[in-house]
């Protein structure tokens, strides 16, 4: 009963469609002012629809400087097992790896995979393009949301989020299932574990033993998002300004990255797992201590920022994607989603 009540009353755990109801109004207001449903699409002209939905992750990764890209292999959706393993060897990839759909969101079908058999079972089950990426060993996973105006003079970082992975602490008596039931964050993942990791749930951890339940840093999969905006300083801005200046046609985005420490991040020593486009949220708002009203305030600020970037692009003669072209792109995305749903 407490689980049900928390899901519908605590901001952090609200279903995404419900939590975003006020955000739909923000979008509608700025779309009305812009007189274009897809006004945001000219903010990142190098990414279809600016990276709102349905964008190719491998396409975006190729926009980044090579030094911050992890090793990766792209599958076309119907690879042979032998060819897949040959590609992994040629790229220097070793297990464990992370498999993720080239098109997807909210951690859907993203898995850390320990061996070749597990990888083949995962990618062959879903006949869509996948990215097979090295599992980065750096201990600190973060997001950094940036924007830059096309005049080249204005750059800022508006959100830093530090991720805390889902774990349980053993007491020497309770099973992993029992520990998850007692954990207000882990209990939301229990149904998924009953389906995919039932062999783990009956295990009993020693007193004081910590078990990492979820290695994928996604909020929908139990990761805690912590507000890291206090880490924003001029050094961090300078580091990312130099990086973002090398990414053509992207004025707004959120890096999902790993690094060894905050000091390494400031030095530019990190690896980027993904770069999200215009719908890259200010992830710090999901900090349990941040609060719903402050979150909506920050959402509004970021929609206003997208509108300002849209107008700046218009002044440079860069129009948004036409409604007809955008609808054609969305239809292709909906067909893709339907294909996955029937698997």
Domain stops at, among 195, 214, 233: 214
The DSSP string of 127-194 is -S-EEEEE----SEEEEEEEEE-TTSS-EEEEEEEEEE-EEEE--SSSBHHHHHHHSTTGGGGHHHHH
| Residue 22 forms part of a structural domain | yes
d(CA 98, CA 216): 9
Tokens 């080239």 correspond to what residue? Answer: 102
Do 154 and 228 lie in one domain? The reply is: yes
- Please indicate, yes or no, whether residues 147 and 176 belong to a single structural domain of this protein: no
Kindly state whether residues 20 and 91 are assigned to the same domain: no
Same domain flag for 158 and 231: yes
Q: CA nearest 53: which of 338, 343, 342, 327?
A: 327
C-alpha atoms less than 13 angstroms from C-alpha of 129 in its C-beta half-sphere: 15
Q: Which helix (H) or strand (E) holds 328?
A: helix 323-341
**Assigned domain for 263 exists:** yes
Handedness of CA 85, 89, 94, 97 (dihedral sign): negative
Please check whether residue 249 is in contact with residue 177, taking contact to mean a CB–CB distance below 8 angstroms.
no
Residue 325 forms part of a structural domain: no
**Number of domains observed in the structure of the chain:** 3
- Cβ distance 231 to 159 under 8 Å? no
Strands 166-169 vs 130-134: parallel, antiparallel or unpaired: unpaired
Q: What tens-digit pLDDT sequence spans the chain (343 residues)?
A: 456 556 666 778 888 888 899 999 999 999 999 999 999 999 999 999 999 988 999 999 999 998 999 999 999 877 788 989 999 999 999 999 999 988 877 767 888 999 999 999 888 888 788 999 999 999 999 999 999 999 888 999 999 999 999 999 999 999 999 999 998 889 989 999 998 888 899 999 999 999 999 888 888 888 999 999 999 999 999 999 999 999 999 999 999 999 999 999 999 999 999 999 999 999 999 999 998 999 999 999 999 999 999 999 999 999 999 999 999 999 988 888 777 665 5
124: enclosing H helix or E strand: helix 116-125
- What Å distances lie between residue 1 and 7, 176, 187, CA to CA? 10, 20, 12
User: Which tokens sit at 216?
Assistant: 């994928």
Q: Among 135, 155, 184, which residue terminates a domain? A: 135
Last residue of one domain, picked from the residues 135, 153, 182: 135
273 in the same domain as 206: no
Q: How confident is the model at residue 196, as a pLDDT? A: 83
DSSP 8-state symbol, 70: P
Q: 41 with 77, same domain?
A: no
Whether residues 154 and 259 fall in one domain? yes
DSSP codes of every residue in 203-257: -BPPTT-EEEEE-S--GGGTPEEEE-GGG--HHHHHHHHHHHTTSTT-SEEEEEE
Residues 76 and 113 in one domain: yes
Tell me if 328 is assigned to some domain.
no
Give the pLDDT confidence score for residue 47 in this predicted structure: 96
Q: Which helix (H) or strand (E) holds 276?
A: strand 270-276
What's 118's domain CATH number? 3.30.1490.20
The answer to whether residue 338 is domain-embedded is no
Q: What are the CA-CA distances from residue 232 to residues 88, 158, 181 (Å)?
A: 37, 8, 36
Is 256 among the domain residues? Answer: yes
pLDDT at position 4, please? 58
For residue 5, give its domain range: 1-70+137-165+223-319
pLDDT score recorded for residue 128:
83
How far apart are the C-alpha atoms of 244 and 237, rounded to whole Å? Answer: 10
- Asked, for residue 332, whether it belongs to a domain, the answer is no
- Judge if 171 and 158 occupy the same domain: no
Co-location of 313 and 245 in the same domain: yes
Q: What is the pLDDT of residue 1?
A: 45
- Domain assignment of residue 336, yes or no: no
How many C-beta neighbours within 10 Å does residue 277 have? 24
- Same structural domain for residues 4 and 31? yes
Dump the DSSP string for 27-51.
HHHHHHHHT-TTGGGGTSTTSGGGG
Please check whether residues 79 and 96 belong to one and the same domain. yes
Q: Which CATH number covers residue 146?
A: 3.30.470.20
Burial 328-341 (b: 16+ CB within 10 A, else e): ebeeebeebeeeee
Radius of gyration of the chain (CA): 21
């Amino acid at each position: 009963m407490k689980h049900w009540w928390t899901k519908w009353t605590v901001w952090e755990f609200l279903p995404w469609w419900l939590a975003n109801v006020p955000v739909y109004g923000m979008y509608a207001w700025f779309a009305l002012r812009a007189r274009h449903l897809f006004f945001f699409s000219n903010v990142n002209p190098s990414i279809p629809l600016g990276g709102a939905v349905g964008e190719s992750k491998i396409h975006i990764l190729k926009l980044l400087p090579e030094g911050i890209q992890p090793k990766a292999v792209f599958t076309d959706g119907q690879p042979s097992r032998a060819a897949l393993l040959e590609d992994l060897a040629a790229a220097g990839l070793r297990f464990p790896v992370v498999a993720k759909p080239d098109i997807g969101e909210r951690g859907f079908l993203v898995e850390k995979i320990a061996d070749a058999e597990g990888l083949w079972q995962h990618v062959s089950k879903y006949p869509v393009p996948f990215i097979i990426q090295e599992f980065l060993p750096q201990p600190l996973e973060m997001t950094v949301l940036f924007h830059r105006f096309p005049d080249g003079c204005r750059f800022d970082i508006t959100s830093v989020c530090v991720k805390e992975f889902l774990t349980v602490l053993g007491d020497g008596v309770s099973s992993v299932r029992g520990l998850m039931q007692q954990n207000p964050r882990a209990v939301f993942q229990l149904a998924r574990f009953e389906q995919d990791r039932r062999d783990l749930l009956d295990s009993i951890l020693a007193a004081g033993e910590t078990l990492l339940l979820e290695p994928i840093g996604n909020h929908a999969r139990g990761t805690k998002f912590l507000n890291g905006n206090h880490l924003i300083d001029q050094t961090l801005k300078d580091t990312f300004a130099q990086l973002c200046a090398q990414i053509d046609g992207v004025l707004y985005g959120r890096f999902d990255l790993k690094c060894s420490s905050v000091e390494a991040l400031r030095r530019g020593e990190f690896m980027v797992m993904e770069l999200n486009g215009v719908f890259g949220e200010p992830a710090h708002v999901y900090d349990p201590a941040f609060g719903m009203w402050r979150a909506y305030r920050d959402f509004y600020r970021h929609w206003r920022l997208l509108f300002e970037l849209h107008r700046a692009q218009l002044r440079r003669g860069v129009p948004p994607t036409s409604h007809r072209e955008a609808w054609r792109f969305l239809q292709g995305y909906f067909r893709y989603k339907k294909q996955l749903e029937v698997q």
